[in-house]
Structure 1
Amino acid sequence: MPRSISAALIPCIFLASLHSPSMSDPKSKFSHLPRAAAGPLTCPHQGNSVLQSSQFNKGSAFPADERSAFKLHGLLPPNIQTLDEQVQRAYQQYSSRSDDLAKNTFLSSMKAQNEVLYYKVRPEAWSRIITFLTCDQLVQTHLKEMFSVIYTPTEGDAIQDYSRLFRKPEGCFLNINDPDRIEESLSSFGSGDDVDYIVVSDGEEILGIGDQGVGAILISVAKLVITTLCAGIHPSRQLPVVLDCGTDNEDLLADELYLGLRQHRERGEKYDDFVDRFVQAARRQFPRAYIHFEDFGLKNARRILNRYQSQIPCFNDDIQGTGCVTLAAMLAALEVSNVQLEDTRVVIFGSGTAGIGIADQIAETIATKTHKSKDDASKQIWCIDKPGLLVKSLGQQLTDGQQSFARDDHDWSENDRDLQSVIKKVQPHVLIGTSTKPGAFTEDAIREMARNVERPIVFPLSNPTRLHEAKPEDLYKWTDGKALVATGSPFQPVNYNGTEYEIAECNNSTCFPGIGLGAVLSQCRLMSKKMLVAAVEALKAESPALKDSNKPLLPDVENVREISVKIAAAVIRCAVEEGLAQQDGIPDSDSELQEWIQAQMWEAGYRPLVGGN
């Protein structure tokens, strides 16, 4: 199923930061706002303390006046350099590392020393590659090679080797056997208005590599990096958290260097109480922070989201982010194919966290936009998993989320619950794959679908590429070029009968950062279902396919920061309409609202430092 970040997404994020216009205009009438990333920055440190702070450290780029004001003479070489010169040196150091894991470790070390340089060197690295390469294929090859260092698969390797690579802690580590220290631990990261965005994981299901215990802190860190790159969330106002509940990974338990709790995972009441104590303590310590749940286990992810989404502003990217981006692509495809939402029939093949998250978002949107009940909207969706079509007689085998989509047994014999039979009987407009079962969308199944609808909408979303339910080129061939396709990994355009079709990638990073930005800036009390629908509509409105059906169903993530502004604006407007926004002074007009948002988005650049607390 689609991940929030992929090896091929990251280049586009970096390219976005290269080519997008400045989001922090010091002349903006909103440059006075507390989160505006322009003007002087108050630094409470002196001497070595300044150099040890990743937020304030400029290394060799400190100008003469700041070296005097902050007592840095003698602590730095005398030559004053520019940020561009630092980037050049950092990129050379990065390039000299022997393998991808060493490069990943180098970047992590840089982040701990100087966050501006860390965020700046990455797009600059891609700029240098593009400067020296002229063949598009070579550019793509090198970009993919480098971006795999930043995230999957190398980030997965870093998480698996977390305890062996450990140098300096980053984030907050909470221990299920010491819940009385939760509040004290969180207080180390500030209070009140110091934190805007929290990503928390218990590490049970990480990046397709399963239970990684305390190493999950790195997935929380990585998701926050993406919110900064894609939506300008201030890195100094973020908090990565890991809930160490033990691990069922026997390799970790047997590793004498493992840094987490050396015990099997806690379940049941003790686990629920630990999660609740974290949530309540976080709300007391950071009363306006937005909490993003990441990579929780299948049995806990939805249950936790259901418990807290009516109490606090929170979000689960595996459930809601995946659902939002897929739904945006689906709505664009329905508009292209002239099918009304209230008439749409959807089959989802693979009903785990991602599949049911997509089903839930589709049902919620049908209910919101057509005024149907949620139950009636759910009847437009057929979910298939390992036992076949989900039916009510499966009982306790079904998760809470799956039960909403289980069909009556008397309508379906045991012999017609496979994918081919369901397609033949349902005649779906939309087929979505989140099964990780390669080749599951067979030629017979797709041709059966194409016999009954004019423009089959087919989304093989499992990733990596080798796990896709079908290849785009086959889908166009089997439907005579009529299919509308989106995938969970990047694919080259398909040429069929002389027509080139561009393939959309359903990637959460076009959506969740903008949603989070809207939540942070509106200071919303809750993340409502209508706010998510507004985000989906904003993303769908950017679909190139609405102007040319041969174009992709989703916008290119190269423009992700601009997309994030529009999604954030839609979320904020909806929060205001629903009475959920707590921030004063939100502009009424669209143009002013977008300027207000842009003024508060962080960019990688050194700001003048002034002394103070």
Structure 2
Amino acid sequence: MTSLVIFKQHLGKIMKKRGQAILNDPLLNKGTAFTAKERDALGLAGLLPHRIETQDQQLERVFSNCARKPNDLERYIFLMSLQDQNEALFYRTVLSDLQRFMPIIYTPTVGEAALHYGAIFRRPRGLYVTAQDRGRVREVLQNWGGDAPSVIVATDGGRILGLGDLGANGMSISVGKLALYTAAGGIHPGSTLPIVIDVGTNTERLLSSPHYLGLRQKRIVGEAYQDLMDEFVEAVGEVFPDAMLQFEDFATENAITHLARYRDQSAIFNDDIQGTAGVTLAGILAALRITDGALEDQRVLFVGAGSANIGIGELVASAIAEKGMSLDAARKQLWFMDRKGLIVEGRDAINSFAAPYAHAHSPIGDIATAIEVLRPTILIGATGQPGIFDEPVVAAMAKVNARPVIFALSNPTSRSEATAEDVYLWSQGKAVFASGSPFGPVTVNDETHVPGQSNNVYIFPGIGLGVTSCKISRVTDTMFRAAARAVASGVSEDALKEGRIFPALDEIRTASLDIAVAIAEIAFTEGLAGISRPDDLRGFIAERMYSPRY
């Protein structure tokens, strides 16, 4: 969104506020960058130090202060405080070096922040809908005093990254996710709304902590839980009818159930299922440019049968089916393992969502043996079990593939199935590797490999940009496949030579715009767009991208 469009959009709000009210509004506050004329016109004379600074000068102070912090959690706290004071300066900071700041405002540092959310709490953001609000959820949503949101991220804190049930501490995830919508996708920060659906927590450490700020009770389940979710989704549709609703970090069964139950009601998607699937498919498509393989010829072994891997499997299977194969036949090229071993026909305790991948085969209990027998070309882990891709596993993949593709997707870094260094070392530099959290370059046999970060930030901001710009009423799997292709095609040949299978982070806004255009084209074709198609679709969407410069 251009600065002129933003100015016009917020002119009414600015004119209604003066003095301290402007300085206390992070969407309007420019701090020491207010000019002399602005200070006189807005009643700011005397409320700021005499010196007038440029945003670049303010940015240098932010860098200096951030560098003095002793660790990333302290840097996270500092940056979140800046977001509460001056949104434009916060986003200018983040965009100045995404490689440096994204791991602080989101994974992996946001995981540590979620663990300590109550202790580091400063200022409330967003809305809390609790189990005690049953019957008045609409009233709670109407208490939101900001502009009507165009993007909402909601979580019940049931499965935060790889850290488990953190209850109301999940608010840090919703806040962080929306920060990336703005930084990477250009969604205006004033049109975002983080929500926690606080239904309690089963984590005893939180229930006994003096700092825990959520409901101090066990999670509600069953009919009571589902009734609250039904009321919540209905209320969002009534109070914020134009908003896209993203579900985030729900426990596997709830995540899959909610997506199936609500996805056709409005623009609703689950990032852990569909966003993770989209970015992983993008990584696979880019990796095949290195291995010189065809998607329809791949055999994939998934370790972990939760919502993330099942979502990836479904999107990959549908992408294979697009090549002229039936969906059932495509699924037979995908295998899943869980804690009990390979998921096969006739095995006990198979979840309904994993059942389509229970193929006829004898049981196999360990990953390395499964690789030797099934000979997968791609290995994908989403388990939250650090180190589960050990040397025998990686060596087995390297034995059956000239260029094995290995994705260790669990977040944060401490939960990754393998480190980049180990995978490159154990595969003698042959692996094409990606992880959920960032790893630095690794040199093996005098050759430097740059691991890819299979981060959903390559997908969901672009989805949000396309949906909000063109008022798209549904978010479909076809759109996520298109998003994956857009991301994969944006990886340069030079990047592929280094082993990188995702665009550089400083190119992410271009990637988001590519995605937005691609899914908008689908929406116009399928009658899901709420506007007439502009002659210059790319220019139309680009003009709506937020710029954090004053």
TM norm structure 1: 0.82
Residue of structure 2 equivalent to 1:321: 275
Residue of structure 1 equivalent to 2:122: 167
Classify 1:74/1:325 alpha carbon distance in 2 versus 1 (closer, same or farther; 3 Å): same
Residue of structure 2 equivalent to 1:133: none
1:249 aligned to which of 188, 191, 203:
203
Q: Does 1:422 align with 2:370?
A: yes
CA distance in 2, matches of 1:292, 1:240: 10
Deviates more, 1:438-447 or 1:277-286: 438-447
1:486 aligned to which of 423, 434, 441:
434
Contact 2:182–2:189 under 8 Å retained in 1: yes
Residue of structure 2 equivalent to 1:400: 352
1:388 partner letter: G
Residue of structure 2 equivalent to 1:120: 92
User: Within 5 A, what are the aligned runs for 1:123-162?
Assistant: 123=95, 143=100, 149-152=104-107, 154-162=109-117
Shift of 1:154: 4.2
Classify 1:243/1:25 alpha carbon distance in 2 versus 1 (closer, same or farther; 3 Å): closer
Shift of 1:256: 4.0
Residue of structure 1 equivalent to 2:519: 571
Residue of structure 2 equivalent to 1:185: 140
Q: Does 1:381 align with 2:334?
A: yes
Q: Does 1:24 align with 2:2?
A: yes
Classify 1:77/1:155 alpha carbon distance in 2 versus 1 (closer, same or farther; 3 Å): same
CA distance in 1, matches of 2:176, 2:483: 22
Deviates more, 1:304-313 or 1:63-72: 63-72
Classify 1:50/1:469 alpha carbon distance in 2 versus 1 (closer, same or farther; 3 Å): closer
SS at match of 2:346: helix
1:171 partner letter: G
Mind listing any 5+ residue stretches in structure 1 that lack a counterpart? 1-22, 27-35, 128-139, 607-613
Deviation string, structure 1 residues 179-198 (Cα, Å, up to 9, x no partner): 2332122223369x821100
Same amino acid, percent of matched pairs: 39
TM norm structure 2: 0.90
2:10 partner letter: L
Residue of structure 1 equivalent to 2:31: 59
Contact 2:162–2:415 under 8 Å retained in 1: no
Q: Does 1:197 align with 2:197?
A: no
CA distance in 1, matches of 2:20, 2:291: 62
Residue of structure 2 equivalent to 1:8: none
1:120 partner letter: R
Classify 1:305/1:222 alpha carbon distance in 2 versus 1 (closer, same or farther; 3 Å): same
Residue of structure 2 equivalent to 1:136: none
Deviation string, structure 1 residues 272-307 (Cα, Å, up to 9, x no partner): 111111111111111121111111112211111111
Residue of structure 2 equivalent to 1:304: 258
Deviation string, structure 1 residues 140-174 (Cα, Å, up to 9, x no partner): 9xx4xx76643455433433333333332110111
CA distance in 2, matches of 1:148, 1:550: 22
CA distance in 2, matches of 1:175, 1:150: 26
Residue of structure 2 equivalent to 1:41: 10
Q: Does 1:110 align with 2:82?
A: yes
Residue of structure 1 equivalent to 2:543: 599
Classify 1:533/1:147 alpha carbon distance in 2 versus 1 (closer, same or farther; 3 Å): closer
Classify 1:122/1:432 alpha carbon distance in 2 versus 1 (closer, same or farther; 3 Å): closer
Q: Does 1:516 align with 2:464?
A: yes
Deviates more, 1:106-115 or 1:493-502: 493-502
Q: Does 1:370 align with 2:370?
A: no
CA distance in 1, matches of 2:72, 2:387: 31
Deviates more, 1:341-350 or 1:428-437: 428-437
SS at match of 1:431: strand
Shift of 1:385: 0.8
SS at match of 2:277: helix
Contact 1:37–1:599 under 8 Å retained in 2: no
Deviation string, structure 1 residues 196-228 (Cα, Å, up to 9, x no partner): 100001111113332222221121111101111
Contact 1:545–1:551 under 8 Å retained in 2: no
Shift of 1:365: 1.4
Classify 1:527/1:446 alpha carbon distance in 2 versus 1 (closer, same or farther; 3 Å): same
Deviates more, 1:423-432 or 1:308-317: 423-432
CA distance in 2, matches of 1:189, 1:364: 39
Classify 1:475/1:173 alpha carbon distance in 2 versus 1 (closer, same or farther; 3 Å): closer
Mind listing any 5+ residue stretches in structure 2 that lack a counterpart? none
Matched residue count: 547
Deviates more, 1:97-106 or 1:270-279: 97-106
2:59 partner letter: V
1:221 aligned to which of 175, 192, 206:
175
